[in-house]
Structure 1
Amino acid sequence: MQAGDAAAAARHFAAAISGDPQSGALQRNLASAWRALGDDARELTALDAALAIDRRDLMAWIRKAERHEVRGEKGAALAAWSAAIALGAQLSPVPPPLEVLLAHGHAFVAAATDTMFAAASGAFGAIRGDLSETEARRGEAFIASSLGRRRIYRNECAGVYYPFLPADEFFDRGHFPWFAEIEAQTDAIRAELRALLDDPGEALRPYVKMDAGTPETIWSGLDNKLDWGACFLWEFGEANQPVLDRCPATAAALAAIPGARIPGRAPSAFFSMLKPHTRIPPHTGVTNTRAIVHLPLIVPPGCGFRVGGETRAWEEGKAFAFDDTIEHEAWNDSDELRAVLIFDVWNPHMTAGERDLLLRYFASADVSGYAVPC
């Protein structure tokens, strides 16, 4: 090879392979000889032989990707470059010669997925108007996740997990026909909140209150601070009557909601206040049997909310519901207070029979005496 006699090199490598058929390095060297001779087919055969010996052979994948790319075999090149990139991600540090090769691979994959995403989005756009809200959101998530543009998040419940419920990030408004009724009360609810904040007394408290002795967690920065404050109207199924008495319009609006009533557990409803330049870290909730509803009341510019792979801006007076057992976070990057009314209702995917089952489950746990208090 060094003398420039690739044909002789190919013969010698073939002879060496006959004596050591499990050497991936010899197969790669043979592939290099065939490349020098311009024999694409034999080069690819030798590279496939090297990979048959070890699927983790990074250089074999790189050479295979290069050859398919030159031949215009886009799908095969994409598969090979993707394999090479996955293996290269395990190297730390990446040797400089490999870094250059893998950078080319990343650029190829990015261009390929850009092209595929544009084509898929065009095909999707042709039918999007005929789809329901659920179908459109799932379709968009499918296309984006298939092409590596978003992660699909799973339920992570710290408490009760009900199996086989759809892992919706945001629930469709169609599940909550009463949204319009509570949205119509936004001004009255906001006025009651402002009056409450003018003289909160004992009603306003830190949302995060960690038990003594708790080690450092993601919540330590908010522990016992009013950076994220809450005024509870209901908490674990118990009414906070002094606050309800001061907020009659809010109390009436909540009473009209077909929410969950689980003794000692639900509902919970509270005004959530996020001070300027405060972030609630990514986290997951307790149970997927509920949906969490936000009714935004005071939302300055610079506030945002993410559930799983979807980020939304709050709009004052426009409610939405989400599954809080899917990773979510919130932020207020403005110079003003952000305030939202938050309450829980049944997960809309649970049937009436399943809701009754859950009530009976908790009741039996309470009767047993072993139920863990909230």
Structure 2
Amino acid sequence: MKHQDERVGRLLQAVASARQQGNQAEERRLIDAILAIDPDNPHANNARGMAALAARDFTDAASHFRRAAEADPTEPALWMNLARAQREQGDAAGERQSLDRVFAIDQRHFMGRLRSAELHERLGETAHAVEAWQAVLSLSAGLDPVPPALVDVLAHAHAFVAEQTQAFAEEVEQGMADARADVPPAALRRFDACLDNAFGRRRIYRNECSGVHYPFLPAYEFFDRDHFPWLAELEANTETIRTEFEALLARSQPMRPYVAMDRGTPENKWTPLDNSLDWSAYFLWEYGVANAEAHALCPRTVKVLEAIPRAEIPGRGPTVFFSILRPHTRIPAHTGVTNTRTIIHLPLIVPEGCGFRVGGETRSWRVGEAFAFDDTIEHEAWNDSDQLRAVLIFDVWNPFISPAERDLLCRYFALADASSRNPARERGGM
């Protein structure tokens, strides 16, 4: 047996040499010699199968590939070759079995998943085809650059998944039409976000707090207005507030850059706005401290705000300011400090071309229409117009935190701010 193995080994080396030299006749002769000694040799059977495949003798190819794979069942390439011959034969059942053998060895075998996706699509097994193409796309995410031979294949994968997902979504939505008729808007908003996520149309964003993260609170992007019954009164005073703001602009009241990084801060997404009036602010309260000058200049605005239930936290809140965004300025996507607060926007000056995104929902500001959102969910803003945009911004308590919890948080903040052991001493985190 040892002598036979050594002889087969020498013949395999000779096969490799003949193949390298392009001597096909010698390669075939040597493979025949190996098979005469060892009929189940996987290398020789695989080589004979490849030759049959090239000659389009798919039956002979499948026969040799099967012998090769059964002789070396842990080599996925042999099962892949058998699957190819079976595909050429039109043997879908055989191809499926061979691909299953590949996945039993390596669930992440890229070409196996690709051929499986093609098989399911070819057989009209739509749901399985979508799942298989999604697996291909997931596995291909690490390909950089994408090999030229795969460019069209992956483009087809994207198109097929998108088309079938859209058809699936339309089918479900048509079937849901009557069930939606009497559902309250707030419930519909959550349900629609659920469906959009299920169909890959939107991502569900979660809180990312750089400061205090209060657990078990709903992560709403935009809060329902019912939580803030005073919004209507605030909106009714829009013109009053806007008039006082415009007076500030008319008298060239100094604004200050909203972004001011410490010296030596590495370049980052905020660098373009650092110490820039492209995004500026004029504070009426800042971390709970009233700006006496602002109160004197904007008395009616202050009166409106003092009627609103605010989060009175010494050294932390409220913060109230006019936010001014110059033309063609973008505030990059970011998250806030703590979900214990809610941010209110009252738009005052909004030219065309302005927008605001929180998580997966984008809204246009409309003058006099306030909204509340969770700023610990990724959000961004832009002004693509040729005019400035102005919004009154302030913070209040998160409506899902009870009065008792608010009292506990205020006590905690007071103790934390007073302690010399507090390494953060964060400000603006409520």
2:210: which partner in 1?
A: 158
- 3-state SS in 1 of match to 2:413: helix
1:365 aligns with one of 399, 416, 420? 416
1:52: which partner in 2?
A: 104
Contact in 1 for aligned 2:211/2:426 (Cα 8 Å): no
Gaps of at least 5 residues in structure 2 are: 1-52
Verify: 1:256 aligned to 2:291, yes or no: no
2:337: which partner in 1?
A: 286
Structure 1 window deviating more from structure 2 (1-10 vs 122-131): it is 122-131
1:9: which partner in 2?
A: 61
Which aligned pairs between 1:303-342 and structure 2 lie closer than 5 A? 303-342=354-393
Deviation digits for residues 164-189 of structure 1, max 9, x if unmatched?
21111111111111100100000100
* Alignment partners' CA distance in 1, 2:103 and 2:352: 54
- 3-state SS in 2 of match to 1:171: coil
1:42: which partner in 2?
A: 94
Deviation digits for residues 78-136 of structure 1, max 9, x if unmatched?
11111111112221222222222222222211110110122233344433342233312
Q: Give percent identity, aligned residues only.
A: 58
* Alignment partners' CA distance in 2, 1:305 and 1:317: 15
Contact in 2 for aligned 1:304/1:313 (Cα 8 Å): yes
2:83: which partner in 1?
A: 31
2:288: which partner in 1?
A: 237
Contact in 1 for aligned 2:279/2:323 (Cα 8 Å): yes
The structure richer in helix per residue is: 2
AA at the equivalent of 2:322:
F
AA at the equivalent of 2:182:
D
Contact in 1 for aligned 2:256/2:277 (Cα 8 Å): yes
Contact in 2 for aligned 1:231/1:271 (Cα 8 Å): yes
* Alignment partners' CA distance in 2, 1:153 and 1:134: 18
2:278 aligns with one of 192, 206, 227? 227
AA at the equivalent of 1:350:
I
Contact in 2 for aligned 1:308/1:327 (Cα 8 Å): yes
* Alignment partners' CA distance in 1, 2:341 and 2:177: 32
* Alignment partners' CA distance in 1, 2:176 and 2:328: 38
* Alignment partners' CA distance in 1, 2:394 and 2:176: 35
Contact in 1 for aligned 2:281/2:321 (Cα 8 Å): yes
TM-score between both structures, scaled by the size of structure 2: 0.84
| Distance of aligned partners of 1:17 and 1:113 in 2 relative to their CA distance in 1, 3 Å threshold | same
1:146 aligns with one of 189, 195, 198? 198
* Alignment partners' CA distance in 1, 2:154 and 2:256: 52
Structure 1 window deviating more from structure 2 (362-371 vs 166-175): it is 362-371
Verify: 1:131 aligned to 2:183, yes or no: yes
Structure 1 window deviating more from structure 2 (290-299 vs 68-77): it is 68-77
Deviation digits for residues 19-72 of structure 1, max 9, x if unmatched?
211111111111112212222111101011111111121111111111111111
Higher Cα Rg: structure 1 or 2? 2
TM-score between both structures, scaled by the size of structure 1: 0.96
1:95: which partner in 2?
A: 147
* Alignment partners' CA distance in 2, 1:194 and 1:104: 55
2:317 aligns with one of 247, 260, 266? 266
RMSD, aligned α-carbons = 1.4
* Alignment partners' CA distance in 1, 2:239 and 2:180: 35
**Larger RCO, structure (CA 8 Å, separation 6 or more):** 1
Contact in 2 for aligned 1:237/1:264 (Cα 8 Å): yes
1:194 aligns with one of 226, 229, 246? 246
* Alignment partners' CA distance in 2, 1:7 and 1:355: 77
- 3-state SS in 2 of match to 1:153: coil
Deviation digits for residues 337-360 of structure 1, max 9, x if unmatched?
111000000111112222122112
Contact in 2 for aligned 1:56/1:87 (Cα 8 Å): yes
**Number of positions where the alignment pairs a residue of Structure 1 with one of Structure 2:** 373
Contact in 2 for aligned 1:268/1:343 (Cα 8 Å): yes
AA at the equivalent of 2:285:
W
| Distance of aligned partners of 1:106 and 1:163 in 2 relative to their CA distance in 1, 3 Å threshold | same
Structure 1 window deviating more from structure 2 (174-183 vs 145-154): it is 145-154
Structure 1 window deviating more from structure 2 (361-370 vs 287-296): it is 361-370
